[in-house]
Amino acid sequence: MPVTPRSHQLLLAVLSLYQCRPVEWWDFPLYPISSRLWPCASDFCLHRVPVRCFWWSTNVLGPSRDHIPQGIDEAQANRDEDHDGVDNKDDDVTLSDPGDCDIETIEPNISYQNNAVTWKDDTNQTQHADGIHLDIYLDTLTNTSLFKLYCNIHHKGSKAKGQKHTIFLFIHPESVRAITLDSGRSTRPSSSKPSRQTLSFSIVQQPSLIIPKGYVVESKQRSKGLLNAVLALANVTDFGIHLNSSNITIPKQTRLESVARIFSLNSAHNRPLTNKRCANLESLYGGRGGEVANLSRDVGKAPIQADLPPSYDEPQRGQISNKRRRIDSDVTNDKSPTAHDDLFKSIRGHLDGIEMRICTHIDGMEGRINTRLDSIEDRLKQLEDKVSDALDVDRDQYILEEIGEQLDDCITGVKIESEELFKAIDDRADMTIERLEQEVNERIDQLGEEVKDSTAELVEESLKKKLVNASLRIDGSVFLDI
């Protein structure tokens, strides 16, 4: 049979499968067999296997040692209990901002957990919500700042362990009209709790609602009330944050007064600008990035996933064509058999297993880090109690320096332990990826043998049909009925 350009290209692809050499990352896109032999499996071609493995090695295992202390505030929020009493200890890794502001260079960096927020709705009725966390970033050296309100939402329909994500409300300093600090009564008149410090915000622009990329803001029932409260706060310009009294210390009180003084109505000149590092959305959610939510598009609408209709030019699967094949046509251009589908399912299974093992290692690492952070919090609490009992005007500066040294030692210990954990995970992932490469290569060799056998059988069958239809002329020549 004549050798056409298409059959020649196929032959080169099959021969390349038998070459005894290591498969490189850039070899797979060059193989045309992924779209020739298995067109119905284009959603999972062979050349995507190493690309996916390479993505895991650079994204899943990618956080460096310098990012560990930068997400401590958000990790602490993930360990707190939700407003409805649901424990978050089984949540997935939600260190959502590995590129967040460096707490060693930005002063002050204040964090308040489990606060109450009040605001007025459209009917001028006072609304109330608990379990809202507040981070204040203020850098007096660069005259930049940012305010973050955030909470944990149990995402509806998520496949991740714990099904929980952090959503933020960013308040840029350019939009702040005034911030006032006062001591008031408890947020609930019938409550016997001690009075809280209230930080009242008056802004000219509504806060920016930040969510993970590609997610729809839809919560499970246990965190539905908290989600509705955050969505309501995203549409108001005046609200008050009643700070948790257990978070108030003398240094934090001093910094709060500094924030209120900088953003007071009488101090309208030389206001801080937005801190670009803190407001960087691409560094949120473990490097996956966040986006500003469109309330009319991203809230309460489930993503619609539907297959595209078949093309009018393409015959439907299972339809038998009456056209006869040309002699010079490619005999291997049919749909892939069931064995090929089983191969792809097997590869998918191996990849899913590797992904689950990596997630398990990361979850274990998170538990160890959380235990370390809990120990640090206990030590800081003991130190704060000692400071509160012994604090006076003459020893103020000395005690603050001692607290800073203790905090630096704790953070250094967390860095060293986290570095060892990440190194162990990297080694385990490298071994897993090497084993996967070996299995994929064996599968490719097996598939090449099947393609070779199938090609020989089809050619033999085609020649038999032609010889059956052949006729013998009187002069002894053989005539093939084309």
Quote the pLDDT of residue 474: 58
Structural contact between residues 97 and 145, judged by C-beta atoms closer than 8 angstroms? no
- State the virtual CA torsion across 69, 408, 171, 298 in degrees, nearest 10: 20
Quote the pLDDT of residue 459: 87
Question: Residue 191 and residue 421: Cα distance in Å, rounded?
Answer: 45
Question: Residue 240 and residue 208: Cα distance in Å, rounded?
Answer: 17
- The residue written with tokens 């920016």 in the block is 208
Query: Beta-strand (E) ranges in 172-217?
Result: 176-184, 196-203, 208-212
Helix (H) or strand (E) holding 421: helix 396-468
Q: How large is the average pLDDT for residues 453-457? A: 87
Above 90 in pLDDT, residue 232?
A: yes
Above 70 in pLDDT, residue 99?
A: no
With a pLDDT cut of 70, the percent of the chain lying above it is 60
Q: Are strands 238-242 and 196-203 parallel, antiparallel or unpaired?
A: antiparallel
pLDDT band at 230 (very low <50, low <70, confident <90, very high): very high
**Does residue 381 form part of some domain?**
no
Quote the pLDDT of residue 342: 79
**Does residue 443 form part of some domain?**
no
**Does residue 220 form part of some domain?**
yes
Above 70 in pLDDT, residue 175?
A: yes
**Does residue 392 form part of some domain?**
no
Instruction: Centre a 10 Å sphere on the Cβ of residue 441 and count the other Cβ atoms it contains.
Output: 13
Structural contact between residues 150 and 160, judged by C-beta atoms closer than 8 angstroms? no
Q: ∠ CA(299), CA(300), CA(301), 5° rounding?
A: 100
Question: Residue 7 and residue 36: Cα distance in Å, rounded?
Answer: 11
With a pLDDT cut of 90, the percent of the chain lying above it is 20
412's CB contacts (< 8 A; 6+ apart) are none
Structural contact between residues 317 and 40, judged by C-beta atoms closer than 8 angstroms? yes
Q: How large is the average pLDDT for residues 205-219? A: 86
Cis peptide before 108 (omega within 30 of 0): yes
Question: Residue 372 and residue 369: Cα distance in Å, rounded?
Answer: 5
Instruction: Centre a 10 Å sphere on the Cβ of residue 360 and count the other Cβ atoms it contains.
Output: 11
**Does residue 212 form part of some domain?**
yes
Above 50 in pLDDT, residue 65?
A: no
**Does residue 58 form part of some domain?**
no
Structural contact between residues 144 and 273, judged by C-beta atoms closer than 8 angstroms? yes
Question: Which of 21-25, 28-32, 389-393 is modeled with the greatest confidence?
Answer: 389-393
Q: Is 40 helix (H, G, I), strand (E, B) or coil?
A: helix
Quote the pLDDT of residue 190: 47
As beta bridge partners, residue 137 has: 109, 146
Residue type, 142: T
Question: Residue 275 and residue 143: Cα distance in Å, rounded?
Answer: 9
Distance of CA 179 to the CA centre of its chain: 33
> What pTM does this model have?
0.42
Above 50 in pLDDT, residue 197?
A: yes
Quote the pLDDT of residue 198: 92
65-69, 97-101, 202-206, 471-475, range with the lowest pLDDT: 65-69
**Does residue 279 form part of some domain?**
yes
Q: How large is the average pLDDT for residues 89-115? A: 50
DSSP 116-176: EEEEE-TTS-EEEEEEEEEEEEEETTTTEEEEEEEEEEEBTT--STT-EEEEEEEE-GGGE
Rg, C-alpha atoms of the chain = 32
Span 113-154, pLDDT tens digits: 899 999 999 899 999 999 999 999 988 889 999 999 999 888
Q: How large is the average pLDDT for residues 413-426? A: 88
pLDDT band at 86 (very low <50, low <70, confident <90, very high): very low
* Nearest in space to 118 (alpha carbons), one of 70, 16, 186, 176: 186
Which ranges of 322-395 would DSSP assign to H, the alpha helix? 338-390
* Nearest in space to 68 (alpha carbons), one of 29, 97, 27: 97
User: Could you give the C-alpha distances from 412 to 76, 131, 409, 479, in angstroms and in order?
Assistant: 17, 30, 5, 88
* Nearest in space to 201 (alpha carbons), one of 177, 231, 228: 177
Q: Which of the 8 DSSP states describes residue 92?
A: -
Q: How large is the average pLDDT for residues 227-238? A: 93
Domain enclosing residue 242, as ranges: 70-300
The average confidence (pLDDT) of the chain is: 71
More confident residue, 147 or 404: 147
58-62, 155-159, 410-414, 457-461, range with the lowest pLDDT: 58-62
pLDDT band at 344 (very low <50, low <70, confident <90, very high): confident
**Does residue 131 form part of some domain?**
yes
pLDDT band at 303 (very low <50, low <70, confident <90, very high): very low
Q: ∠ CA(33), CA(355), CA(371), 5° rounding?
A: 165
Q: Which of the 8 DSSP states describes residue 376?
A: H
Q: How large is the average pLDDT for residues 96-114? A: 54
409's CB contacts (< 8 A; 6+ apart) are none
**HEC sequence for 273-292:** EECCCCCCHHHCHHHCCEEE
Span 28-49, pLDDT tens digits: 333 333 333 343 443 434 344 4
Structural contact between residues 150 and 133, judged by C-beta atoms closer than 8 angstroms? yes
Q: Are strands 273-274 and 471-472 parallel, antiparallel or unpaired?
A: unpaired
241's CB contacts (< 8 A; 6+ apart) are 112, 115, 116, 117, 132, 134, 149, 198, 199, 200, 201
Number of domain units in the chain = 1
Quote the pLDDT of residue 387: 73
Locate 288 and state its tokens: 């996956």
Question: Residue 195 and residue 179: Cα distance in Å, rounded?
Answer: 19
